[in-house]
A = this chain, B = another copy of it.
């Protein structure tokens, strides 16, 4: 194994530059969780991370730059798509993963802080969009596999079906401010799947042969 041992929690690959980045991103997430994006300052992050201000300004440029790098890191760390053998199992795995992320006291609050930041900051909005489009693209594979297996109609729009599973969970979290329960996650899967089986996700822009 070329990888450092995962049990050596304080040893990070990549030397000083990677350690600085890890400390700065952790400080950024701490600050977002505690006070939100609007209270985030470069000086405060430098102090929290134990890193020189000049380094933080030079490498990240702005609070939105910090958030962008944090979202990149989330995308890199996120789980690959499931492969349970059925579209129902795969979409359920996706919905439960989203539910757990949104209810996680650290990750869920961080995502909400970035969603809030994105309403008024274009760079944060781009970071958010990039993160979610990568996640949607990763999970769209489960729909393509289901179409290939004959579980779903030819021409089913893979990305749209993945969006449809997540949308009701985020709607409750940030719009109606209602709990995102397991029941909500499972109902979302059942409804998206019923619509997909009925052909409601087949689009004119069908890319399948």
Q: A residues engaging B (CB < 8 A)? A: 36, 38, 112-113, 115-120, 125-126, 128-129, 132-133, 136, 160, 163-164, 166-168, 170-172, 174-178, 187, 190-195, 197-201
Contacts and interface: CB of A to CB of B under 8 A. Distances in A.
Contacts of A129: 176-178
Contacts of A133: 176
Contact residues of A: prevailing secondary structure: helix
Contacts of A193: 200
B176 A163 contact: yes
A163 B136 CA distance: 21
A119 B118 contact: no
List the 8 closest A-B pairs by CB distance, nearest first.
A167-B171, A116-B116, A194-B200, A38-B38, A194-B198, A191-B195, A167-B167, A129-B177
Contacts of A200: 187, 190-191, 193-195
Contact of A176 (B136, B178, B191, B199): B136
Nearest to A126: B177
A144 to B, nearest CB: 19
Given A163-B168, A168-B164, A115 B174 contact: yes
